Structure 1
Amino acid sequence: MSPLRLPRELASGNAVLKVLGALLLLAAVGLVALTENGLLAYRQAAQRHGGDVLDLGRQSGPEAGQHGFMVRVAGPLQVVAPPRDDEFNQSGATPVLTRRVEMFQWREIIVGGQPTYELDWVDHAVDTQQFMHPAGHANPLKLPLEGHRFDASDVQVSGFKLSPALMHALPGAGQLVPDGAALPPNLAASFSVNGNYLTTSEHPDSPRLGDLRVSWDTVPLQEVTIVGRLDGDTLVPATDATDGKGYEVQVGDRPVLDLFPDLPVPPEAVMPRRGAALLLGALGVLALLWTRRQHVSDVLLPLGISALVIGSVAGAMWLGGSSGVSLRWFGVALLGLALAAWPLWRRHGFGLNADKH
């Protein structure tokens, strides 16, 4: 007998289906490769700043399962327990209160190799022995008071506490108006309020050598965006970040890509793209195997082969990038293998069992 020949139109149709199936399968692999490559590039860049960032926005406080992640939060600064300078009995609604102590002293200015001398406020003792002409320009040897920084014990943004490192990075500057009535008696005898300063000058507009003035710098209460690692309910720097900071603090409500401009734009709609890749792959395999379909359950074969191919490609791409993501994709591949094996086992396994009977 001569071999059975398919009609020309049928053979041509099968060829078109095979080409279409191959193109769909290639498109599926390309789509998942582009998606995972974009995620990999984003994650590798994010590792320089401590890792992937959970964008919590204005979420009110941490939730279970977020510990250890880098998070972004935004909102106004809230000082729950303000800082206090106990020595001067001064306090203010600010995350950080910094005492600045200055003395009216001689300082040397050299212009064109020639020194000139003037009295000015300086926040450290100026050693006149280093002057070109120290005679007649003697300064006190040291400041009788020292500057100091006082941190609030509880500062929050949207219910997340800030660690001291993040508080010290808060931008902006202001000055505290000192409360003269709150001064302890021993200091009230020496200091008086002059604008934003406490001074020992008898005539504040005409200070004399050795006079002191004390002021306090503050951080304004404003809306900020914070990125840091969540440790319990507190945002701290990521110590393993290779950028040397492990956090970011900026004024206003700023998106992650504005905070870290070196980050590539991650792919959008990741899960729909992954699902589309699996579906395209299944349609491609179905077209390739169209002439071999025999049972409605054979639809599992294209789905399984698609999952096997897509899962294997994506899992291999994530090797070295993230073992967790890689294992999940290889799990998809194993599930695909099981789905693909079922119709084959049903067809051939059941057939063997039927032959035995």
Structure 2
Amino acid sequence: MPEKVCISDEFLVRDLVMSDTFTTSTTTGWFSRIGDSIKGILFGLLLIVISFPLLFWNEGRAVKTRKSLDQGSNEVVSLTSTTPDSANNGKLVHLTGEATTEQVLKDEKYNISTQALVLKRTVEMYQWQEDEKTETKKKLGGSEETITTYSYNKVWHEGRIDSSSFHKSAEYKNPMAAEQSQSLTADPITVGGFTLSDSLKSKLSDFTPLPIKPVGPMPETIVGKKVTVSDQNIYLGADPSNPALGDLRISYSVVTPGEISIISKQKDQSFESYTADAGGKINMLVHGNQSAAAMFEAAHQSNKVMTWVLRAVGFIVMWIGFGLLFAPLSVIADVIPLAGSIVGAGTSIIAFLLSLPLSLCTIAVAWIFYRPLIGIPLIVLAVGFFVLLIVKLKKARA
């Protein structure tokens, strides 16, 4: 088994080559770890600084979106006809009807043609993919060993995986993809007497697979590769049953004409985004027959989910930031690995107990600014967490 050893002032690196799996062992000295942890303090401070405006902005975004949706649900006019009425021009309208087009979409290169709202070509390339697994072990004296295992497998993947960032980029190099995915959208797409705007057309997403039925002869080779056609895809390569690096397979999917529901501002015989007083924009399209109430309810639920996701992100960013501030303490204690683990667990708990009330305070201040009746109770809750933190610190000192 070939072995490669490289030694530097700070650490030792050893690569063990085993088929398509490589294990790298890196040992970092105690003083180097202390230096790295001190450098991490600046990054930790940056994360903490970022977390406050992120949490505050998210609450403002949530309130603006909720107010805009509430205004929209109160003002929306549900149309009973797909014939434009000038009396509704400039109003927020809800419309359900059959989205149709007369245009035939065609991928000229492969002679694939169909009458559809959207035709999408998906190109996958057979290429290398790197998987990375890392395990860290602390050693007596404060040093730390990091064992990283890199494994390489050939997979079908849309687009090209950037192999320049691979650990073994020279040995596992992906070729450039000879073809690219692309999407064709019909123009115009109409619903009765209305024509969909580009922004609404971009929301068409109910794709179904399209069987491969070329409307003309398919060339024997494309981009220097043999062409094999099946019902599921077009294969570019020597042998579909034994793919080689750089082989391509191409499939198609379509959005067919069908019933859609729209909530948008009527602009003559078309639509544009509706801007509410709070500043939020409303421009919705869903597939199928849905009432205005159902569409607004779904939008409210989506807003709630996004709000909680961004709250979690802001809290975690702050928690990581405080963790980096306290990291030197656990590294110093790592002279005895068990002691370092205990100190690390303690600093993580303290970072959590600091981040939680500070996040709540930030959210509460934002709610006091945007919705005071909810913000004040949150302030009280945050103060309670601070009191709990102080009690725990006094017990720890004792």
The answer (yes or no) to whether the contact 1:100–1:214 under 8 Å persists in 2 is yes
Corresponding residue number in structure 2 for 1:210: 246
Q: How does 1:58-77 map to 2 (within 5 A)?
A: 59-77=81-99
Corresponding residue number in structure 1 for 2:157: 122
1:59-89 deviations in whole A, cap 9, x for unaligned? Answer: 1321232222221111232223243323333
User: CA, structure 1 residues 61+45, in 2 after alignment: closer, same or farther (shift >3 Å)?
Assistant: same
Deviation at 1:181, TM superposition (A): 4.6
1:147-177 deviations in whole A, cap 9, x for unaligned? Answer: 2221101222233221222122124221222
Corresponding residue number in structure 2 for 1:168: 202
Cα distance in 1, alignment partners of residues 277 and 182 from structure 2: 30
Deviation at 1:45, TM superposition (A): 5.0
Q: How does 1:173-252 map to 2 (within 5 A)?
A: 173-182=207-216, 185=219, 190-238=226-274, 244-252=280-288
1:121-156 deviations in whole A, cap 9, x for unaligned? Answer: 12222232321223532221x212222221101222
- Range with bigger deviation, 189-198 or 169-178: 189-198
Note the aligned Cα RMSD (angstroms).
Answer: 3.0
Corresponding residue number in structure 2 for 1:106: 128
The answer (yes or no) to whether the contact 1:76–1:157 under 8 Å persists in 2 is yes
Number of equivalences: 219
Q: Which runs of 5+ in 2 are unaligned?
A: 1-66, 135-147, 301-398
Secondary structure, aligned partner of 1:129: helix
The structure where strand makes up a greater share of residues is 2
Deviation at 1:246, TM superposition (A): 1.9
Q: Is it true that 1:137 corresponds to 2:172 in the alignment?
A: yes
Q: Which runs of 5+ in 1 are unaligned?
A: 1-43, 265-357
User: CA, structure 1 residues 195+243, in 2 after alignment: closer, same or farther (shift >3 Å)?
Assistant: farther
Secondary structure, aligned partner of 1:257: helix
Computing the radius of gyration over CA atoms, which structure comes out larger, 1 or 2?
A: 1
Cα distance in 2, alignment partners of residues 239 and 115 from structure 1: 50
Q: Is it true that 1:150 corresponds to 2:184 in the alignment?
A: yes
The answer (yes or no) to whether the contact 1:96–1:149 under 8 Å persists in 2 is yes
The answer (yes or no) to whether the contact 2:113–2:214 under 8 Å persists in 1 is no
Cα distance in 1, alignment partners of residues 220 and 278 from structure 2: 50
Cα distance in 2, alignment partners of residues 217 and 242 from structure 1: 39
Corresponding residue number in structure 1 for 2:78: 55
Cα distance in 2, alignment partners of residues 239 and 148 from structure 1: 32
Secondary structure, aligned partner of 1:77: strand
Moved over 3 A (4+): 44-51, 183-190, 239-245
Cα distance in 2, alignment partners of residues 205 and 243 from structure 1: 55
TM-score by length of 1: 0.54
Give the residue type in structure 1 aligned to 2:196. L
Deviation at 1:187, TM superposition (A): 5.8
Q: How does 1:191-340 map to 2 (within 5 A)?
A: 191-238=227-274, 244-261=280-297
Corresponding residue number in structure 2 for 1:83: 105
1:86-122 deviations in whole A, cap 9, x for unaligned? Answer: 3333232321222222211111112343111111112
TM-score by length of 2: 0.49
User: CA, structure 1 residues 48+192, in 2 after alignment: closer, same or farther (shift >3 Å)?
Assistant: farther
The answer (yes or no) to whether the contact 1:103–1:124 under 8 Å persists in 2 is yes
Cα distance in 1, alignment partners of residues 228 and 84 from structure 2: 46
1:252-307 deviations in whole A, cap 9, x for unaligned? Answer: 3222111112999xxxxxxxxxxxxxxxxxxxxxxxxxxxxxxxxxxxxxxxxxxx
Cα distance in 2, alignment partners of residues 101 and 183 from structure 1: 20
Give the residue type in structure 2 aligned to 1:170. L
Cα distance in 2, alignment partners of residues 181 and 160 from structure 1: 31
Q: Is it true that 1:96 corresponds to 2:118 in the alignment?
A: yes
